[in-house]
Chain A
Amino acid sequence: MDLTYSPADQAFRAEARSWLDAHVPAGSLPSLETEEGFAAHRAWEAELAADRWSVVSWPTAYGGRDCGLVRWLVFEEEYWAAGAPGRVGQNGVSLLAPTLFDHGTEEQRARILPPMGRGEVVWAQAWSEPEAGSDLASLRSRAVRTAGGWLLSGQKTWSSRAAFADRAFGLFRSEPDTPKPHQGLTYLMFDLRAPGVTVRPIGRLDGKPAFAELFLDEVFVPDEDVIGEPGQGWRVAMSTAGNERGLTLRSPGRFLASADRLAALWEERGRDPYTRDRVADGVIGARAYQLFTYAAASRFLEGEPLGPESSLNKVFWSEYDIALHETALDLLGPGGEVADTDGDGGWGEGYVFSLAGPIYAGTNEIQRDIIAERLLGLPKGRR
């Protein structure tokens, strides 16, 4: 049980901190979920990338620092403690990139990763469909073989960031009549501005176009944009779901910074007795999540797959995040209702964002089923 950082890790922390001190914008950027804010966040990614701070865990060849999991955690602590902006490239970096590392070709990695790391190409996820949410394998959008590639048709929805993003990745049915629904799927990448693509932005609870519907009508995708073997899309998509991705979707640093802000707000409000216990739970929850992640990272670094444990993690942080923001809004009292203080700094914006947490990335009900079956060994049940 060792919770100390090596001198090299500490030096890395100091380097990150001093860079962030010098570069983090003083005020918050406009909301990521607006056209103006999206552009401002892209510019910020470019600034990070110029000094190799945008994707620190990636290999240096793709713009990273090859820094390993512990230093990634350290970087995230510093990043959020510095009050730096939200990450517009998160979907690509935490969902697509790990898949490319595991299943992509060298050509794909060299072509796709560097512009992703610089924020030049922002990726949206195209998995859910109107009739395929938690039951993702029942998806119907088709990929039909054509000369040199595939033609995509169908409808995707709840595609985060797609309103302003450049490209998307998703699963498509390439073999129509397979015995089981998760067979015959192919993992493909496509351009959101290609002929045949219609993007219809959807306003989330606060009306901001944080996600979109995608209508696809014979959209051509070249063979070079298939990840893994055609027909193996389910395996490709799921193989990274339980490993590093479960660990890196939400970093502890983000919640530690939020908990610090909450505790500071509580002090500012004269140590309000009515919210005291919930503020303490905010502080404790961030620490619990940090330590849980360190334990998971330690196991991962020793070669143990994380597997279904990432379901514990997902339920915890998504519910914790909402509770934290609710506490802040309650502390703010009637004034907390004001929601026009845009940007990363606003509790209102953070609250609206947090409400989606238990729904995306596998609903918390699906995660609890996974915990029940795979961690507790309970019999399969009716959902």
Chain B
Amino acid sequence: MRFLLDDEQTAFARSLDGLLTAADTPAVVRSWGAGDHGAGRALWSRIAELGVFALAVPEAYEGVGARPVELAVAFVELGRHAVPGPVVETVAAAALLSEPGFSHLAKRFLPGVASGETVVTVALPGGGPYVLDGDVADVELRMTGGGRGGGFGGEEGQLWGASGAREGSPDVRRSLDPARRLCVPRSGGELLAAGPRVGAGVADAVRWARLATAAQALGVGLALLDRTVAYVKQRRQFGVPVGSFQAVRHRLADAKIALEFARPLVFGAAVSMEPADLAAAKVVACEAAYATARTALQLHGAIGYTAEYDLSLWLGRARALRCVWGSPGECRGVVLGGGGDDGAGVG
């Protein structure tokens, strides 16, 4: 029994934090949202060089094997720095393609995922109706035939893949998080696999996606809290810092409590990888991040309500993450063992 990160894991978080701090991620996020992906792809490569995507890729395919705790450590940092792109979806795809029996697909796609060369997005049951950043992803995976809850119980399904640039300009829908570019899934493509293994692979993909989303949300919340604490210390009204007012201090204390109790759920879920633990981590981390976003906006006042001010990058992210890869209600259903709203549990 030792429920703490070890020195190596802490050092990993620090080096990722160092890289992302130096990378000026707010500027990267803004250009990504505007459809200019150059800086974002460069950052993606550097994140991959540090080994982040390899944490979800088996050793046989140039990864380091499934390392969910380290992955959670990494995704907290990605969230803290608001890194754009289908990071969760790429991890979900890695889990899906790691399914036993998909070795031909794993061999074809996973080395590129681990190295950062291949950005993957997905349209899977358990995800949403749109593919995230479908205009920039190198590979788009899509499952059909499973229905909304399909695939979760090992049902039959087909896995389709499409790669290369989309024809024409894609129809990108605006997200509440301007950095998230939502595209309609492509139709057709190459039939990569069919049968019950697809369903089993998707169940794994959803587990990893929930872990990565929960960790990312925790990071988003921590960043919002840090920025807001810094702001209320320097913002003065009535001749004193607004952070000396109890109404302000207590809201921030509540945000701190929510985040610090989400943290052990995220890492506990990484240790067990049990569907109920993952669902609990997902809903609590996302709700803590969202509550912190509300507090951050309120305590910044009008400046926080502007697109120009960087706080907006995290505010939108907190809202978007709350419902992707399992809405709060769906996750609570899984915790109680009855599955989500669609009556299908994960795994």
The interface of chain A, by Cβ under 8 A from chain B, is: 1-6, 9, 70, 263, 266, 271, 276-277, 279-281, 283-285, 287-289, 291-292, 294-295, 297-299, 302, 309, 312, 315-316, 365, 367-369, 371-373, 375-383
Taking a contact as CB atoms under 8 Å apart, the answer to whether A371 and B256 are in contact is yes
B3, B246, B260: which contacts A383 (Cβ < 8 A)?
B246
The answer to whether A287 and B268 touch across the interface, beta carbons within 8 angstroms, is: yes
Q: Is B333 an interface residue (CB 8 A)?
A: yes
Q: Are A379 and B244 in contact (CB-based, < 8 A)?
A: yes
Q: Interface of chain B, helix or strand or loop or mixed?
A: helix
In angstroms, Cα B5 to Cα A243, docked, is 21
Q: Are A280 and B260 in contact (CB under 8 A)?
A: no
Which residues of chain B in 231-260 are interfacial with respect to chain A, using CB atoms and an 8 Å cutoff?
Answer: 232-233, 240-241, 243-246, 249-250, 252-254, 256-257, 260
Flag if B3 contacts A2 (CB, 8 Å). yes
- A-B pairs under 8 A by CB, number: 146
Cβ of A376 and Cβ of B265 under 8 Å apart? no
B83 at the interface (CB under 8 A from A): no
- Interfacial chain B residues near A312, Cβ < 8 Å: 256-257, 260-261
Q: Does B57 contact A (CB under 8 A)?
A: no
B72 to chain A, nearest CB (A): 9
Q: Does any Cβ of A come within 8 Å of B283's Cβ?
A: yes
Interface size on B, residues (CB 8 A): 47
Write out the residue numbers on chain A whose beta carbons fall within 8 Å of the beta carbon of B225: 376
Q: Show 30 A/B contacts (Cβ-Cβ < 8 Å), sorted by A.
A: A1-B3, A1-B5, A1-B271, A9-B1, A271-B336, A277-B328, A277-B329, A280-B333, A280-B336, A281-B332, A284-B265, A284-B284, A291-B265, A294-B1, A294-B264, A299-B4, A309-B260, A312-B257, A312-B260, A371-B253, A376-B229, A376-B253, A378-B229, A378-B233, A379-B241, A381-B245, A382-B244, A382-B245, A382-B246, A383-B246
Known contacts A2-B2, A283-B336, A368-B249, A316 near B229 by CB under 8 Å: no
- Give the contacts of B103-157 with A (CB-CB under 8 A): none
Chain B residue numbers with a CB within 8 Å of A299 are: 4
Minimum Cβ distance to chain A for residue B231 (Å): 11
Q: Provide the bound-state CA to CA distance between A275 and B306, in Å.
A: 38
Q: Output the residue of B1, B246, B249, B272 with the most chain A CB within 10 A.
A: B1
Question: How many whole Å from B268's CB to the nearest CB in chain A?
Answer: 4
User: Does chain A have a CB within 8 A of B262?
Assistant: yes
B335 within 8 A of A: yes
